[in-house]
Amino acid sequence: MTTEELIAARRAEPWRVELRGSMKNKERTAIPRVKMNELDPEYRSHTRVEEVNLGLTKEQALSEAKRCLDCPNPTCMQGCPVGIHIPTFIKNIERGEFLEAAKVLKETSALPAVCGRVCPQEKQCESQCIHLKMGHEAVAIGYLERFAADYERESGNISIPAIAEKNGIKIAVVGSGPAGLSFAGDMAKRGYEVTVFEALHEIGGVLKYGIPEFRLPNKIVDVEIDGLRQMGVRFEKDCIVGKTISYEDLHTYGFKGIFVASGAGLPNFMNIPGENLVGVMSSNEYLTRVNLMDAANPESDTPVLKGKHVAVIGGGNTAMDSVRTARRLGAERAMIVYRRSEEEMPARLEEVKHAKEEGVEFLTLHNPIEYIGDERGRVRQMRLQKMELGEPDASGRRRPIPIEGAIETVDVDEVIVSVGVSPNPLIPHAFQGLDISKKGTIVVEQDTMRSALPDVYAGGDIVRGGATVILAMGDGRKAAAAMDAQLRP
Amino acid sequence: MNKIVNKEHFSANVVKLEVEAPLIARSRKAGHFVIVREGEKGERIPLTIAGADTEKGTITLVIQAVGDSSRKICALNVGDYLTDVVGPLGQATHIEKVGTVVCAGGGVGVAPLLPIVEAFHKAGNRVIVVLAARTKELIILEEQMRQNSDEVIIMTDDGSYGTKGLVTDGVEAVIQREKVDQCVTIGPAIMMKFVAALTKRYEIPTVASLNTIMVDGTGMCGACRVTVGGKTKFVCVDGPEFDAHQVDFDEMIMRLGAYKDMERK
């Protein structure tokens, strides 16, 4: 059955027809979009581990699910990189079958509780919702996804997707971030013997070391990883493909296909004077200490500097995560320093809003040009060049231009540099014969994610540079389908 | 995984552990290091691989108890397991036949120097080892060094063993006596800084193995960054060995002090 046929068949089920008929579309569109409950900003800016977004109540979820018109051609699904059957799961929520809704999510997504929290839905599924064409707010698909996944987890009735008969073919996955996990789940469902190799001591990649607890609790990631384990996926931690074991070793061990999802983990610095002072660090270092190593917990052996005046350089989601973390670790003044204006910021609107509510200052149109330290080599001040916007550049955003002579000095005792990441060079160096772009990404065929090496596929940030969780997961799904087509006996 | 199969005390504070890690034992080369984590609340610390036995599938680590994490690891006994060991990391030492090589080690830096001494000696070089410590009891691995080199010179601060003086005094004596083609130094940053300053005067190419603060050890955070020849480098992936004459040791020493206040608590 094709996806279109499956969508139509599900939509034609009697309960669904009846549900559609139970309310007029006009009544459905008249329901206002739900607002998710959040922790109070003053309270949450001092609590490190409590989630800001509280999720929907049952009543809220039931009401929001009614807003979905159950379109015959659900365009929302085209906006979802992993192709979740959106109307099907939402209609299951509307009829109160929450566990059934969770099952639908798991058909195509290995990590629904994660995606419901961190996907930029406004740019994905929700941007294609029919409501927008009629001048209404989109159905809160992300909130509903989170609701169904959370409901299932809390119910203790976690279902495991159906697994095809084992085919005995061994597949290796390099990296346990979102791309690798999504790929592993899809291949396990198809009956392959999947082993995921992870360099760190925890599974999850950026979901563990990058995204903070207040946006994505680690225990939620762990439950979804446990689901993959129950599907038969094996995880090897502390194992670096290209160092601990080689490409040739993988062949010796009998792996027939390799999916490289090693991410973009190398932090960029600006190479300005004073950047190596004590107290200046990458957002990767800062967030890894706090998230992966739990450094703010007094019981952890890993230390972390807790600045009083903290500047975070950059305007992406990682910058927002860093600055909000700094605020929670006790920063009296937590600042975003960004060289363009707020309009050009790549961070999600919700993250910017949350940061502002929590008392973060925004120094837009400012760019650091030097850090100044004390006699012990600790950062004490930063010199900021004020900027103005010129013509749009290659990225389509207006180019920041320095205003001559407009330089400001600001006191800081901690600086977190969050100006992007580069692809991890380990695999490109260790696998002879790959086609590598100038930027260091692995070149793949767009439709199949297949690299220049016939048994190696790649996806996520190692192919895209720094991108999003859901795009990485979509790559994993695409690669799984293509590798399956190649290897299926 | 990572079972401790042998333990030996080199001195009161320095312990040698032989740890099961068959994959690392097989793929490691001289100069490589591992990241070790002990306990679920443990931190990740870098330790240079001091040796390996591919048949037994073990690697040798030499640890000096200086802080909480190293004390915890030193307290482990045969039969215990290290929570995590990952590697081999970093670039291997560049080994070739250059002529006469002086290898200068101080403190616990002597342990990671041993595989480098072995490798240079095997490659047909004349290898002279200068071992330095505060006092006689702190000199380690003397016998193994003798077996793998042409000469061992011992220096102690207090003159309790070998010659009284610093590691640089021992190195300079060799330089004045014969032609030296290369120098390798591993030890406290301040020691490497002075060895580098000395060999620069004599224009002898010198390699230092840097021991900076690290977190992941795979290049994803930059905690270990140093300035080499005016450029920022990550010790964990670009190093740990660099041209000692290009390293900004003062900056490195300053960065090593980043968490001093917290460690003391």
Q: Which residue of A240, A282, A297 is in closest CB contact with B86?
A: A240
- Are A305 and B258 inside 8 Å of each other by CB? yes
Nearest chain B CA: its distance from A372 CA (Å): 14
Instruction: Give the integer Cα–Cα distance in Å for B122 and B147.
Output: 12
- What pLDDT does residue B258 have? 87
Residues of chain A with confidence (pLDDT) below 50: none
Interface test with A, best of B86, B91, B227, B259 (most A CBs within 10 A): B86
Laid out side by side, the sheet with B4-11 consists of B4-11, B14-20, B58-64, B44-53, B33-37, B84-89
Average pLDDT of B165-189?
A: 95
Query: Mean pLDDT across the stretch B106-132?
Result: 93
For residues A469 and A115, the answer to whether their CB atoms sit within 8 Å is yes
Distance CA B122, CA B100 (A): 13
Amino acid at A314: G
Given a cut of 70, is residue B220 above it in pLDDT? yes
Q: Are the Cβ atoms of B86 and A201 closer than 8 angstroms?
A: yes
The confidence score (pLDDT) of residue B155 equals 94
CB–CB contact B222 A265 (8 Å): no
Q: At A158, is the secondary structure helix, strand, or coil?
A: coil
Do residues B170 and B104 make contact, with C-beta atoms less than 8 angstroms apart? Answer: yes
pLDDT tens for residues B149-176? 999 999 999 999 999 999 999 999 999 9
Of the pLDDT bands very low, low, confident and very high (cuts 50, 70, 90), residue B10 is: confident
| Tokens read off for A405 | 């002579």
Give the type of residue at A441.
Answer: T
Work out how many CB contacts closer than 8 A connect A with B.
111
Inter-chain residue contact A265 with B219, CB threshold 8 Å = yes
Residue A178's pLDDT is: 94
C-alpha neighbours within 13 Å on the C-beta side of residue B133? 21
The reported pTM is: 0.94
Considering only CB atoms, which residues of chain B are within 8 Å of chain A? Answer: 23-24, 27, 37, 39, 41-44, 68-69, 72, 83-89, 215-216, 218-223, 225-227, 232, 237, 251, 254-255, 257-259, 262-263
Residues of chain B with Cβ-Cβ distance to A289 below 8 Å are 215
Give, to the nearest 10 degrees, the angle between helix A218-230 and helix A178-189: 30
Average pLDDT over residues B63-86: 93
Yes or no, beta carbons of B85 and A265 under 8 Å apart? no
Q: Distance from B38 to chain A by nearest Cα, in Å?
A: 10
* Residue B264 pLDDT > 80: no
Strand-pair category, A421-422 with A266-267: antiparallel
* Confidence band for B265, pLDDT divided at 50, 70 and 90: very low
Write out chain A residues lying below 8 Å of B24, CB-based: 244
Could you tell me if A314 and A419 are in contact, meaning their C-beta atoms sit under 8 angstroms apart? yes
ipTM score for this prediction? 0.93
Tell if the CB–CB gap between A300 and B41 is shorter than 8 Å: yes
**Among candidates A162, A63, A191, which has minimal Cα distance to A104?**
A162
CA–CA distance, A116 with A103 (Å, rounded to integer) = 15
Q: How far is B185 from chain A (nearest CA, A)?
A: 24
* Amino acid making up residue A313: I
Q: Which of B132, B65, B80 is nearest to B102 (CA)?
A: B132
CA atoms within 13 A on the CB side of B178: 12
User: What are the φ and ψ backbone dihedral angles of B62, each rounded to 5 degrees?
Assistant: -115, 125
Residues in chain B: 265
Tell me: is residue B74 an annotated ligand-binding position: no
pLDDT for position B263 = 63
What's the whole-number average pLDDT of chain B?
93
